[in-house]
Structure 1
Amino acid sequence: MSDPSGLATPVPAGRDDESTPAPARRGDHDDLADLGYDQQLHRSLGTFASFAAGFSFVSILTTIFQLFGLGYGFGGPAFFWTWPIVFAGQFLVALCFAELAARYPLSGAIYQWSRRMGGEIVGWFGGWFMILAQIVTASAAAIALQVVLPSIWSGFQIIGDDPALTSPSGAANAVLLGLVLLVITTTINSLGIRWMAYVNNIGVTCEIVGVVAVILALLTHAVRGPQVVFDTAGMGDQPGYIWAWVVSGLMAAYVMVGFGSAGELAEETVNPRRVAPRTIRMALTVSALGGGLMILAALMAAPSLTDGRLATEGLPYVLNSVLGNFWGKVLLVVVVVAIFICTLAIQTAATRLMFSMARDGRLPFSATLSRVNPRTGTPIAPAVLIGVSCIAILLVNMGNAAIFATLASVCIILIYLAYLCVTAPLLLRRLRGWPNGPRLTDAEGKPLFSLGRWGIPVNVLAVGYGLLMTVNLAWPRTEIFDPSGQTPWMRWAGVLTVLAVVGLGILCFPRGKTHPKPVTIGE
């Protein structure tokens, strides 16, 4: 049973209602014990809170406000078509995740799923890629405050007078605003999952209302029809539009990640075998639908498609032009809320991932990082360490926003690599007959989510999509990694960073340590 906030009250083991026949229903903590772990985290999240975790990580208001200009600048209005294509690819991945979430409802989802499908080395690197990516992504989300707050009130420009993120004063002010945000979100994460869920649920509700308001406001001020999505606006005439369009697809690739966060909170969710698979799919689908409509509405309502402002100023330019200063600022306040909950959700997911790896003794200082506060049910040490790490990454932006922009691009590559650490070994397991064994059910006795005979074709397409997108993200493009043209070596930042992360991962891998919870691959 659950309350309107999305938090749920679990039914204790052995307690039945009148309709439940003997024997007594197994509790979720018994289910967790079967996977080799004790119930340490407080289990209180319901369906909406689980959905909110994934939706707020994607945070279309935050990311589309940041990245609309990127997509439009490369592909013109027709960049819209990259959105449904990326959604289709990511939905294939989400279906694979949903099937695994039903069978392995554990914190540290990417790490746990990849190790159970591919073994300890694959699992460790899946967790390693993901945790580094989440730290950088949380810092990137915090930086977004600089794009919005000074536009609402000039008093938020505390350092200097130039709010542009690429200016020295803008970059320094972005660090200050982001630091304040990260301190607040770290504090909330340390207080416990109920505080995090309440704040996140309220924020997600505001963001959904804001997305609907933006779409309706723009559609009621449309100056052209939906056929605008077939207009290339003269982009990429040489050497051909297709290459410009492929680059514009990076915008959608940057946005539609993190939908698996519902799996990260599985040990805090009531009946996670049923809830997590559903909310993983729902978070991505709702985000894709809302984001696609928002992009379409912006293209239909933009005052001009050719004056260059859509590429340089993006969605805020359209809102301010269409709605005027007052209502434009009201919606920007909603964007601030979205940035706040996005940062909070990413930090929460990273905290649970670090806790899960530390619980298995796979990180330095694992004994400290795996300790759960018995009162709050929260792993406080990982929450604090993630917050401090985000702040450290944030300081890179001090006076040098170009490097931070490159780091933000690279972190998405790491997320796609982490996803491949799940989908690729999962495909190999399927080809060898996975899933096998008895048919499992959830806490309500219903069959678990399964792709059935569609498992292999869906998985093949998910792996193919992941490989193609990783190559697209890491391709040494001057436009992405060295837009100023002053540091040619930065074009290779994606490839070099991945090699560096893999090399560092090899050095940090816990050699000679027997895993305390060994598993049979593909069990």
Structure 2
Amino acid sequence: MSLFRTKNLDHMIAQSRAAGGLKKVLGPLDLVLMGIGAIVGTGIFVLTGTGALTAGPALTLSFVIAALACGFAALCYAEFASTIPVAGSIYTYSYATLGELVAWMIGWDLLLEYGLATSAVSVGWSGYFQSLIGGFGIHLPVALTAARGAVPGVDTWINLPALLIMLVLTAMLSWGVRESARLNCIMVCIKIAVILLFIVVGARHVEPANWQPFMPFGMAGTMSAAALVFFAFIGFDAVTSAAEEVKRPERNLPIGIIGSLAVCTVLYVVVSAIMTGIVQFRSFAGVDHPVSLALQMAREHWVAGFVDLGAILGMSTVILVMSYGQTRVIFAMSRDGLLPERLSRVHPTFGTPFFATWVVGIVFGLVAAVVPLNILTELINIGTLAAFCLVSVAVIVLRRRRPELHRAFRCPWVPVVPALSVLFCVALMTFLSRSTWIAFGIWLAIGLAVYFGYSRRNAVLHRPENTARAA
């Protein structure tokens, strides 16, 4: 059995349209808001402060560089999503072009990326939530406020709010994608309104002198910040995981992917420019709420309160959409036999992968409850960058193998744009720490052990009756 056997594209598309599958209920606005919901959260409310300490006012340039890397990859994603409207994102695309082993490894990578992203964001959500209720004089027992060892010198045991928000949003996802999309739309609209309020109010307090020197740590600092704030753009690829639940996927998926990324890039650049214009960037040292801090220092305390609320809603939508994306990747891998079959069962009433959704919610809710935030965030960026590199390579491969295949959206200037995507992503990966590379290698080694121990012999593609369907 070949490790690089690919799936038949025509069969994959027919399978996605078969009766009894996921419900097709999402339109273009749902997808754009889903993308914004996944992207705008921790990045704009937390990482802007950390990034400013690394790049200074040049943080705006760091966001542009990170957005370019994502933008090139987004064009590649859009071509695949419109051509192969099947659940599973880059895992599915890799299975159709680069082979089973590559598909398994990138799917294994996505499980880590999406899972730890939801855990990390829920920990950030917990901090803002505790700050908000603290303003009303409500305080949780110290032992329930953070994971053990997360706060130096404080005896904490478990992050209860982080676990609870994961379980609440998991319940929403398990009941139905249409209901989850409606909740996401409401929260995204409120979140965007809060950010626009910050822009309008904060612009009046900008002091251009705070932007000097613009690049205090040189280009190296700007690139390091770009590698860090790249986390802020993670999420637009989760839109592709909804492929089987989209009406007119050939049209709506490219709109959702590119539209959400464009809106979020503009918001990030404007907010970071205003924030570093209000406050000298060194003031953000040790601060986990930089946007509201800028307003507090501008004595706009009432707006700062709204920003805290917006941060809570913003992080909620990130958790919701990233959890959604992970369950759909698991659904696709299970349907292919690479994971246990029960994970791809669709609930007869809710039309969702009910069991897989709750497995994800419980497991990564517990991870958020007991693992400190700094450990959670180490692997997220490198996993995403690796995925972006693969989808870019896959576009070139599929163009050469199946030039006649109908593509509702075509990535422009192939192979130049995919090559630029790989170049930008690899450049950002080189600025990540050595420990991150080592940990990522260990995770991939575990994935190889699972593949050769279980997935390879259970793959649907390798069953005798399906051999003819292999490409």
Q: Is the pair's TM-score, using the shorter chain for normalization, greater than 0.5? A: yes
Aligned to 1:231: 214
Structure with higher helix content: 2
1:58 aligns with 2:27: no
Deviations 1:270-314 (A, max 9, x none): 001110011101111111111111111111222x44xx3223322
Aligned to 1:250: 227
Select the residue among 441, 445, 467 that pairs with 1:499: 441
Which secondary structure state, in structure 2, belongs to the residue aligned with residue 388 of structure 1? helix
Q: Map of 1:409-420 to 2, 5 A cutoff?
A: 409-420=378-389
What is the Cα deviation at residue 99 of structure 1?
Answer: 0.5
The one-letter amino acid of 1:511's match is: R
Give the number of the structure with larger relative contact order, counting CA–CA contacts within 8 Å between residues 6 or more apart. Answer: 2
1:194 aligns with 2:178: yes
The one-letter amino acid of 2:342's match is: T
- Whether the 8 Å CA contact 2:59–2:222 is kept in 1: the answer is yes
The one-letter amino acid of 1:342's match is: V
* CA–CA separation in structure 1 for the residues paired with 2:138 and 2:117: 23
Q: Map of 1:71-150 to 2, 5 A cutoff?
A: 71-150=51-130
The one-letter amino acid of 1:381's match is: F
Aligned to 1:293: 270
Aligned to 1:267: 244
The one-letter amino acid of 2:269's match is: G
1:462 aligns with 2:452: no
After superposing the two structures, state which structure 1 stretch, 330-339 or 98-107, moved more. Answer: 330-339
Aligned to 1:311: 285
Q: Map of 1:271-350 to 2, 5 A cutoff?
A: 271-302=248-279, 304-305=280-281, 308-313=282-287, 314-350=290-326
The one-letter amino acid of 1:387's match is: G
Deviations 1:313-357 (A, max 9, x none): 222210222253332112211211111111111111111111111
Aligned to 1:450: 410
- Whether the 8 Å CA contact 1:107–1:352 is kept in 2: the answer is yes
The one-letter amino acid of 2:168's match is: I
* CA–CA separation in structure 2 for the residues paired with 1:519 and 1:296: 57
Percent sequence identity over aligned pairs = 22
Deviations 1:26-56 (A, max 9, x none): xxxx994266855511111111111122111
Select the residue among 380, 387, 394 that pairs with 1:425: 394
- Whether the 8 Å CA contact 2:27–2:247 is kept in 1: the answer is yes
Aligned residues: CA RMSD: 2.7
Aligned to 1:370: 344
Deviations 1:40-87 (A, max 9, x none): 11111111111122111112x432211122111122112321111111
The one-letter amino acid of 1:140's match is: A
The one-letter amino acid of 1:55's match is: I
Aligned to 2:142: 160
Deviations 1:460-513 (A, max 9, x none): 11111122222222x33xxxxxxxxxxxxxxx2x12211111110111111233
- Whether the 8 Å CA contact 1:126–1:419 is kept in 2: the answer is no
* CA–CA separation in structure 2 for the residues paired with 1:216 and 1:295: 13
* CA–CA separation in structure 2 for the residues paired with 1:171 and 1:505: 35
Which secondary structure state, in structure 2, belongs to the residue aligned with residue 511 of structure 1? helix
Deviations 1:344-380 (A, max 9, x none): 11111111111111111111xx221111012110110
Which secondary structure state, in structure 2, belongs to the residue aligned with residue 498 of structure 1? helix
* CA–CA separation in structure 2 for the residues paired with 1:245 and 1:223: 21
- Whether the 8 Å CA contact 2:231–2:380 is kept in 1: the answer is no
| Distance verdict in 2 for CA 1:169–1:46, change over 3 Å | farther
What is the Cα deviation at residue 174 of structure 1?
Answer: 7.4
Which secondary structure state, in structure 2, belongs to the residue aligned with residue 153 of structure 1? helix
Which secondary structure state, in structure 1, belongs to the residue aligned with residue 456 of structure 2? coil
Aligned to 1:471: 430
1:183 aligns with 2:167: yes
* CA–CA separation in structure 1 for the residues paired with 2:65 and 2:291: 21
Which secondary structure state, in structure 2, belongs to the residue aligned with residue 409 of structure 1? coil
Aligned to 1:390: 364
Gaps of 5+ in 1: 1-29, 441-447, 477-491
TM-score (normalised: structure 1):
0.80
What is the aligned residue count?
A: 449
* CA–CA separation in structure 2 for the residues paired with 1:439 and 1:178: 44
* CA–CA separation in structure 2 for the residues paired with 1:135 and 1:169: 29
| Distance verdict in 2 for CA 1:35–1:41, change over 3 Å | closer
| Distance verdict in 2 for CA 1:141–1:38, change over 3 Å | same
| Distance verdict in 2 for CA 1:253–1:174, change over 3 Å | farther
* CA–CA separation in structure 2 for the residues paired with 1:518 and 1:221: 66
The one-letter amino acid of 2:417's match is: V
* CA–CA separation in structure 1 for the residues paired with 2:390 and 2:431: 18
The one-letter amino acid of 1:114's match is: S
* CA–CA separation in structure 2 for the residues paired with 1:293 and 1:385: 38
1:508 aligns with 2:450: yes
TM-score (normalised: structure 2):
0.88
- Whether the 8 Å CA contact 2:87–2:332 is kept in 1: the answer is yes
- Whether the 8 Å CA contact 1:72–1:311 is kept in 2: the answer is no
Aligned to 1:68: 48
